[in-house]
Amino acid sequence: MKRKYKGIEKAAVKFTELMIQRIKEISNDWTKPWIPVRRKNFYPRNISGRRYSGGNTIMILIHMIFNPFRTPVFMTYNQAMELGLKVREGAFPVYHFNYMYLHRDTKERISEKEYNMLPDFEQDQYGRYPIAKYYNVFNLDLTDYPEKYPEDWAKLLDHYQKKVKLNEAEMFDFPLLDRLIEEQSWDCPINLQIQNRAFYNLTEDHIWLPVKRQFASGESFYGTLLHEMSHSTGHQERLKRKMGERCTPGYAKEELIAELSSALLGYFMGIETNISQENAAYLKYWIEELNSEVDFLMDVLSDVVKVVNYTIDKTGFELPDEINITQPAKESTNKHSGKDCRRSCCDRLIPQKD
């Protein structure tokens, strides 16, 4: 069988093994959240400070469940060598897609930049195809960074060890989502009423939820809301997913897309989401699919990325600014300008203060 994700098969296999491990844990206790929210702004990022995106984000978060690193900062082997660091075993694969465009008749290949410069009628003559690659990254805990740069490490720990504080005296609330419901600013109506189940009705394009006080916690209410909102993005006027009929493989796949999308959205918002009681029945099926076809998870993650990006854009939710971090001091010369590129040890490794 032809692989859909040529070039990142090893990453796909690792991701699949990790997802199976997590689903098996949840199978033993389906009250466990997909991704625990332990610390504030604990988003996976590389040594330059840029947050990981796409399916990498959720898989690194799950990777960190089994490996409780003290910071969410990762680097490649080459970056570690440039800093004079030693690395231990425990690398994790991340992947990256670039896109090329192929002319349907001449078979000429052009870059995305070149494609974007073409007029619309010429763009129609090209088809887009992905070029994928993967590379291994190491968490700072898997290097001797703490010993080599103790002052910088202490500042990083201070930033990343801040725990999430919840108001335990009353139900958790999230004003942005409350306004979304009150103003009915989502793509389809969100109806709250006293009832025993939550669901998205594709035919009428409506979301139906029990009222908040019927839920055991505020997090459970918002997690369910995000789950049903994720389903609604599959409508033909939005992301156009094949939703599938109940009790079909397509339906089960759609449920996993909604589960992981709401889990990642919830993590960004500081909301722990649990698998729904109804979807606990799909756990065994998901494991079977993951075991039988490595492309299954990559297909799901591809849709999850689209759902999360769409929802963040539509709701106006803003992730915290990326922390501007870089390597400790290292003397180097810019080959092109000849200018001295020395940097101070802490100039960008930690959050900058005004």
Instruction: Tell me the residue type at 348.
Output: R
What pLDDT does residue 172 have? Answer: 87
Q: Is the pLDDT of residue 335 over 80?
A: no
What pLDDT does residue 339 have? Answer: 35
Average pLDDT, the chain: 85
Element (H, E) at 109: strand 109-111
The pLDDT tens digits of the residues spanning 237-289 come to 999 999 888 878 899 999 999 999 999 999 999 999 988 777 888 888 999 99
348 belongs to a structural domain: no
Q: Are residues 175 and 135 in the same domain?
A: no
331 belongs to a structural domain: no
The pLDDT tens digits of the residues spanning 178-201 come to 999 999 999 999 999 999 999 999
Q: Is the whole-model pTM more than 0.85?
A: no
The pLDDT tens digits of the residues spanning 45-91 come to 998 888 988 789 999 999 999 999 999 999 999 999 999 999 999 99
Write phi, then psi, for 178 (nearest 5 degrees). Answer: -60, -45
Element (H, E) at 296: helix 294-315
Domain final residue, candidates 163, 187, 208 = 163
Give the total number of structural domains in the chain: 2
Domain final residue, candidates 107, 142, 163 = 163
257 belongs to a structural domain: yes
Q: How far apart are CA 120 and CA 118, in angstroms?
A: 6
Q: Are residues 150 and 276 in the same domain?
A: no
201 vs 339, higher pLDDT: 201
336 belongs to a structural domain: no
- Distance of CA 90 to CAs 23, 55, 69, 138, Å? 21, 19, 11, 7
The pLDDT tens digits of the residues spanning 11-41 come to 888 899 999 999 999 888 878 899 988 787 8
Q: What is the rounded average pLDDT of the residues 103-126?
A: 91
Share of the chain above pLDDT 90, in %: 57
Contacts of 137 (CB under 8 A, 6+ apart): 46, 74, 75, 76, 91, 92, 93, 94
Q: Are residues 295 and 223 in the same domain?
A: yes
The pLDDT tens digits of the residues spanning 131-158 come to 778 889 999 999 999 999 999 999 899 8
255, 247 in Cβ contact below 8 A?
A: no
Residue 136 is part of which domain span? 38-163
pLDDT band at 3 (very low <50, low <70, confident <90, very high): low
287, 24 in Cβ contact below 8 A?
A: yes
Q: Are residues 159 and 173 in the same domain?
A: no
271 belongs to a structural domain: yes
54 belongs to a structural domain: yes
Share of the chain above pLDDT 70, in %: 86
What pLDDT does residue 37 have? Answer: 85
322 belongs to a structural domain: no
